[in-house]
C-alpha cells in the first residue's frame, strides 16, 4: 500500500517541480511547448509559410462562398475568378503548378480568423484594404488586385435615379464587411434614414433583395454586377451611378512572415508588370529569348529575382504561363466577354488611363 502511493507522490512532485522550474527559468521555451497547440501553430508558421506550403505541396487559399467573376465554383466544380487566379498564380510561382491550390470557401465573418489561425496561407476574397484591418488584425495586405467602390442596386419599379432618394429604404447587406460601415456613414452624412437587414452570405442578401425584404442591395459595385446576373430576372434591378467609397481589394497574408508577404506581393506585381511588358500566357516561351532587359528580369533569363524571394528563377514565368498576365485574368473573369461585362476603367494600367501600377522588377 505504502509503495505505490509514495511513487505517485514522487511523480507528481517531480512534475510540479519540472513545470515550476520551467516557468521560472525558461518562459520562452515553455510557451512553445505549452499545451494549447492550436494557438501555437500560427506562431510556428510565422517565418515558415513558404517551407510549410512546399512541404504540404499545396497552397491553402481562402476564397468567397461564391461570387461570380471573383471566386465561384464553375459547372465542373472547379473554382474560377479573379481572386482565384491570384492564388493560382502564387501556387504556380511557389510550387510550379497552378493547380496545386486547395480552396476554402469563407464567409466575410470567418475570413480573418481563418487566416490568423493558420487555416489558410493566403486570403484572396474581395477583401478591402483598410487602416484598421492592416494595423490591428495581425495581417498584411499584399497589394491591390482590383480597385472597387461601393454602390447600390435597386428594384427598377421603384423608379429611383440616385442614392440621395433612398431615405427610409430597407437595405440588404452582408455581415462583417466594410460596406456596413460605409452605408452608415453615407446615410448619416446625407441625413437619410435607413434600415439595414444583415445576412451572413452574399447569396442570402440577394435572396432578401429578391423576395422584397429590402428595397436596396448594397455591396462593392463589381459584386453588384455579379449578383445582378444571379437574379431570376436581371432587368428588374438597376445599379445606381453613385460610388460612395474606395474599396481597394487585394490578397492578404499573416503578419510576421516577410518572406511570404514578399512572394505574394511580387507575384501580383509580376502579373501587372507582365501586362505592361506585353508578356502573356501564349508568348511566355518565345519572350524568354527577348532582348528587353526588363522582360529578361521578369522571366528569370537574366539576374536572379526568384532567388531573392526564395523561389526558382522561373517563378514569374510559371505564374504568367499558367495563369496569364493581369489583363488576361481580368478579361477572362470579369471583362467584356463575361456576364459581368465590366470595363477596365480605373483598373486599366497607369499608362492607359487607369491607376493599376506595379513597382518595377529589378
Partner 1 sequence: MSDQADKAGTTVAKPPPWNDPFVRSIFFQVVAIGLLGYFFYSIFDNTLSNMAKSGVSTGFAFLTREAGFGILMSLIEYDETHTYGRTFFVGLLNTAIVAFCGIILATILGFVIGIARLSNNWLVSKLATVYIEIIRNIPLLLQIIFWSVAVLQALPDPQNSIKYGESFFLNNRGLFLPKPIFEDGFGLVTIAFLVAIAAIVYIKRWARQRQEQSGDQFPVFLTSVALITGLPLLVFLAMGMPISWEYSALERFSFVGGSNIIPEFMALLWALTMYTAAFIAEIVRSGIQAVSHGQTEAARALGLRNGPTLRLVIIPQAMRVIIPPLTSQYLNLTKNSSLATAIGYPDLVSVFMGTTLNQTGQAVEIVAMTMAVYLTFSLGISAIMNWYNKRVALVER
Q: Does 255 bind partner 1 (CB under 8 A)?
A: yes
Residues 85-144 that bind partner 1 (CB under 8 A): 108-109, 112-113, 116, 132-133, 136-138
Partners of residue 194 on adjacent β-strands: 169
DSSP 195-220: EEEEESSHHHHHHHHHTTS-SEEEEE
Q: Does 19 bind partner 1 (CB under 8 A)?
A: yes
Q: Which of 12, 51, 285, 343 binds partner 1 (CB under 8 A)?
A: 12
Taking CB under 8 A as the rule, which mask of x and - marks residues 211-250 in contact with partner 1? xxx-x-----------------------------------
Cell 532567388, residue located: 307
Q: Which residue lies nearer to partner 1 by CB, 106 or 340? A: 106
Size of the site for partner 1 (CB under 8 A): 60
Cell 471573383, residue located: 70
Are 115 and 254 in contact by the 8 Å Cβ rule? The answer is yes
Q: Which of 52, 192, 198, 348 binds partner 1 (CB under 8 A)?
A: 198
Residues 152-181 that bind partner 1 (CB under 8 A): 158, 165-166, 168-170, 175-177, 180-181
Binding segment (CB under 8 A) for partner 1, from list 30-38, 82-90, 217-225, 280-288: 30-38
CA–CA dist 228, 234 (Å, integer): 6
Whole-number minimum distance, CB 148 to partner 1, in Å? 18
Q: Does 26 bind partner 1 (CB under 8 A)?
A: no
CA-closest candidate to residue 139, choices 165, 161, 121, 162: 121
Edge-first strand order for the sheet with 169-174 is 194-199, 169-174, 216-220, 150-155, 237-239
- Name the region of 173 (left: φ>0; alpha: ψ -120 to 50; beta: rest): beta
Crossing angle, helix 258-277 and helix 315-323, to 10 degrees? 60
Q: Which residue lies nearer to partner 1 by CB, 52 or 175? A: 175
Q: Exposed/middle/buried for 13, CB within 10 Å: 0-12, 13-18, 19+?
A: exposed
By CB under 8 A, name the binding residues for partner 1.
2, 5-6, 9, 12, 15-16, 19, 30-31, 34-36, 39-40, 42-43, 46, 108-109, 112-113, 116, 132-133, 136-138, 158, 165-166, 168-170, 175-177, 180-181, 183-185, 187-188, 194-200, 204, 208, 211-213, 215, 254-256
Amino acid at each position: 500500500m505504502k509503495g505505490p502511493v509514495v511513487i505517485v507522490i514522487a511523480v507528481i512532485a517531480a512534475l510540479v517541480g519540472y513545470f515550476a522550474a520551467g516557468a521560472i527559468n525558461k518562459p520562452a521555451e515553455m510557451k512553445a511547448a505549452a499545451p494549447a497547440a492550436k494557438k501555437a501553430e500560427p506562431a510556428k508558421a510565422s517565418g515558415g509559410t513558404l517551407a510549410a506550403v512546399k512541404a504540404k505541396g499545396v497552397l491553402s487559399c481562402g476564397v468567397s462562398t461564391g461570387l461570380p467573376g471573383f471566386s465561384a465554383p464553375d459547372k465542373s466544380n472547379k473554382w474560377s475568378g479573379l481572386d482565384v487566379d491570384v492564388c493560382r498564380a502564387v501556387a504556380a510561382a511557389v510550387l510550379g503548378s497552378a493547380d496545386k491550390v486547395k480552396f476554402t470557401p469563407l464567409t466575410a465573418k470567418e475570413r480573418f480568423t481563418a487566416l490568423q489561425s493558420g487555416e489558410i496561407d493566403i486570403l484572396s476574397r474581395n477583401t478591402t484594404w483598410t487602416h484598421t484591418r492592416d494595423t490591428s488584425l495581425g495581417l498584411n495586405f499584399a497589394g491591390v488586385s482590383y480597385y472597387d467602390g461601393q454602390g447600390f442596386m435597386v428594384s427598377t419599379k421603384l423608379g429611383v435615379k440616385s442614392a440621395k432618394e433612398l431615405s427610409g429604404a430597407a437595405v440588404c447587406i452582408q455581415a462583417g464587411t466594410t460596406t456596413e460601415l460605409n452605408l452608415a456613414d453615407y446615410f448619416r452624412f446625407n441625413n437619410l434614414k435607413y434600415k439595414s437587414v444583415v445576412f451572413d452570405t452574399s447569396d442570402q442578401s440577394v435572396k432578401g433583395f429578391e423576395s422584397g425584404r429590402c428595397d436596396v442591395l448594397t455591396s462593392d459595385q463589381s459584386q453588384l454586377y455579379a449578383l445582378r446576373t444571379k437574379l431570376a430576372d436581371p432587368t428588374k434591378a438597376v445599379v445606381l451611378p453613385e460610388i460612395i467609397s474606395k474599396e481597394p481589394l487585394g490578397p492578404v497574408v499573416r503578419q510576421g512572415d516577410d518572406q511570404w508577404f514578399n512572394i505574394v506581393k511580387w507575384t501580383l506585381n509580376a502579373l501587372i508588370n507582365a501586362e505592361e511588358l506585353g508578356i502573356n500566357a501564349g508568348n511566355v516561351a518565345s519572350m524568354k529569348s527577348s532582348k528587353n532587359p526588363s522582360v529578361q528580369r521578369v522571366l528569370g533569363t537574366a539576374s536572379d529575382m526568384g532567388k531573392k524571394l526564395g523561389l526558382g528563377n522561373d517563378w514569374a514565368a510559371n505564374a504568367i504561363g499558367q495563369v496569364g498576365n493581369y489583363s488576361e485574368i481580368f478579361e477572362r473573369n470579369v471583362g467584356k466577354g463575361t456576364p459581368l461585362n465590366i470595363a477596365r476603367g480605373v483598373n486599366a494600367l497607369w499608362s492607359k488611363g487607369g491607376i493599376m501600377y506595379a513597382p518595377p522588377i529589378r
